[in-house]
Amino acid sequence: MRAMVYRGPYKIRVEEKDVPRIEHPNDAIVRVTLAAICGSDLHLYHGMMPDTRVGTTFGHEFIGVVEEVGPSVRNLERGDRVMVPFNIFCGSCWFCARGLYSNCHNVNPNATAVGAIYGYSHTCGGYDGGQSEFVRVPFADVGPSRIPDWMDDEDAVLLTDALATGYFGAQLGDIVEGDVVVVFGAGPVGLYAAKSAWLMGAGRVIVIDHLEYRLEKARTFAHAETYNFTEYDDIVVHMKRITDHLGADVAIDAAGAEADGNFLQHVTSAKLKLQGGSPVALNWAIDSVRKGGTVSVMGAYGPMFSAVKFGDALNKGLTLRMNQCPVKRQWPRLFEHVRNGYLKPSDIVTHRVPLEHIGEAYHIFSAKLDGCIKPLVVPSAG
């Protein structure tokens, strides 16, 4: 089969690989029909995530058709059209039993602090991902869902992470009616978080970024008020000015480990790997939220320490909430919202590329060329 393969930082290519096999009785093999490149894939691509091995296939956002099932699989059959949440989880451990699917204890031998994710380094379990013609899906009775007949492929693939995570980010903000919500980062997750904040009754939604084309999307797609931080000497002061000197009620960090805006922080984290991630966006969130407010963290960060302004968070009495999204728990409600037209996930898709051109797609996405917000990858199989 053809698959995207990591060759070292900033280098990937498409190679011929063995089709994955059933390795556990509850595995399924899925033929991928559509995949996406995620902003967090860029952390891997840039060599920021520990134990990202040469030869790995990335891709934790994908949908496909069941090709083969293991002997203990009951809920899926060959030929089923399925969407697969980015988390791999067993459904029965202490954490899964409490709905913490992103924190499953039974699927990632390499770490206890992180769950398992498709195509996301050995730190996340050492599984291959879906930017490929076929992928192994463990716990096929637990993770995947059949795609509803009425749902488009492009909407379905965005529900496997980006939309679910954005909604989850807004949800962690514990928004009450009339809240001022500020979102740092207008990538896919930030756009969806901003849009979701309205569903939860926000009174005002503000989005901060430095890329004009993404801010434009935040205005049209997410109906948000937007600011380009490069136009302000100090974006935190500006946030205070426009919120009656109180600050926002809820701040959402949807930028994560490679946040720009501070050269030193960016270089020590993204370039020199001395931090688990550039805390620029997170620190802006801590500084911009009002005392007693809530900071929700949706951006991806590596396992190492980052220079986070913990003292400010303490002194301001903030609630910090964060997790990777337990995608499958979000689906029933999000399906309703998509069906009702409140959320149209595929509106943010800008690029559709064949698997063979995935190297260019990564560069375009990483360098933010060509107005790129969300690239989809179409494998040629089938």
Partner 1 sequence: MAYTREKPSPIESRDQLRARIPGWGVDLDPQDRPSVPKLRSEPDGNGAHWDFPERQLEHRPRERSVEHAFLTPVFGTTCPARGVSGLMRKAAYRRYSEGRAAHWLLLLAADRVDAWESHVRSFLTLRPDNPITETGVLSEFSHHGIASRIGKRRADVGHQLLDPLIVAGPWVVACGVAYSAIRSIAGRRR
Handedness of CA 94, 96, 98, 102 (dihedral sign): positive
What are the distances in angstroms from CA 335 to CA 63, 167, 181, 190, 249? 15, 12, 24, 19, 28
Instruction: Map residue 336 onto helix, strand or coil.
Output: helix
Is residue 90 at the binding interface for Zn ion, with CB under 5 A as the rule? yes
Q: How far apart are CA 300 and CA 290, in angstroms?
A: 24
By C-beta, is 47 or 203 nearer to Zn ion? Answer: 47
Contact pick of 106, 121, 294, 330 for Zn ion (by CB under 5 A): 106
Given the structure tokens 């930017």, which residue do they identify? 131
Residue 168 contacts which entry, partner 1, Zn ion, none (Cβ below 5-8 A, type-dependent): partner 1
Alpha helices in the chain (DSSP H): 41-45, 153-159, 162-172, 188-199, 212-220, 235-241, 263-266, 280-288, 310-315, 327-340, 358-366
By C-beta, is 27 or 161 nearer to Zn ion? Answer: 161
By C-beta, is 108 or 278 nearer to Zn ion? Answer: 108
Residue 79 contacts which entry, Zn ion, partner 1, none (Cβ below 5-8 A, type-dependent): none
Q: How far apart are CA 210 and CA 217, in angstroms?
A: 13
Q: Are 144 and 131 in contact (CB under 8 A)?
A: no
Residue 334 contacts which entry, partner 1, Zn ion, none (Cβ below 5-8 A, type-dependent): partner 1
Residue 109 contacts which entry, partner 1, Zn ion, none (Cβ below 5-8 A, type-dependent): partner 1
Is residue 38 at the binding interface for Zn ion, with CB under 5 A as the rule? yes
Contact pick of 19, 93, 199, 322 for Zn ion (by CB under 5 A): 93
Q: How far is the CB of 325 from partner 1 (least distance, A)?
A: 9
String of b and e for 336-345 (b: at least 16 CB within 10 Å)? ebbeeeebbb
By C-beta, is 43 or 217 nearer to Zn ion? Answer: 43
Q: How far is the CB of 14 from Zn ion (least distance, A)?
A: 20
Residue 316 contacts which entry, Zn ion, partner 1, none (Cβ below 5-8 A, type-dependent): none
Residue 161 contacts which entry, partner 1, Zn ion, none (Cβ below 5-8 A, type-dependent): Zn ion
Is residue 161 at the binding interface for Zn ion, with CB under 5 A as the rule? yes
DSSP state of 322: E
Residue type at position 22:
I
- DSSP secondary structure of 182-233: EEE--SHHHHHHHHHHHHTT-SEEEEEES-HHHHHHHHHTS--EEEEGGGSS
Task: Specify the pairing of strand 116-117 against strand 134-137.
Answer: unpaired
By C-beta, is 106 or 226 nearer to Zn ion? Answer: 106
Q: How far is the CB of 256 from partner 1 (least distance, A)?
A: 14
Q: How far apart are CA 163 and CA 105, in angstroms?
A: 25
By C-beta, is 96 or 206 nearer to Zn ion? Answer: 96
Contacts of 320 (CB under 8 A, 6+ apart): 294, 295, 297, 313
Q: How far is the CB of 142 from Zn ion (least distance, A)?
A: 8
Residue type at position 211:
L
By C-beta, is 26 or 40 nearer to Zn ion? Answer: 40
Tell me the site size for Zn ion, rule CB under 5 A: 9
Site for Zn ion in 251-310 (CB under 5 A): none
Residue 98 contacts which entry, Zn ion, partner 1, none (Cβ below 5-8 A, type-dependent): partner 1
Site for Zn ion in 60-89 (CB under 5 A): 89
Q: How far is the CB of 352 from Zn ion (least distance, A)?
A: 17
Q: How far is the CB of 118 from Zn ion (least distance, A)?
A: 10
Is residue 373 at the binding interface for Zn ion, with CB under 5 A as the rule? no
Q: Are 41 and 139 in contact (CB under 8 A)?
A: no
| Residues of this chain that bind Zn ion (CB under 5 A) | 38, 40, 89-90, 93, 96, 104, 106, 161
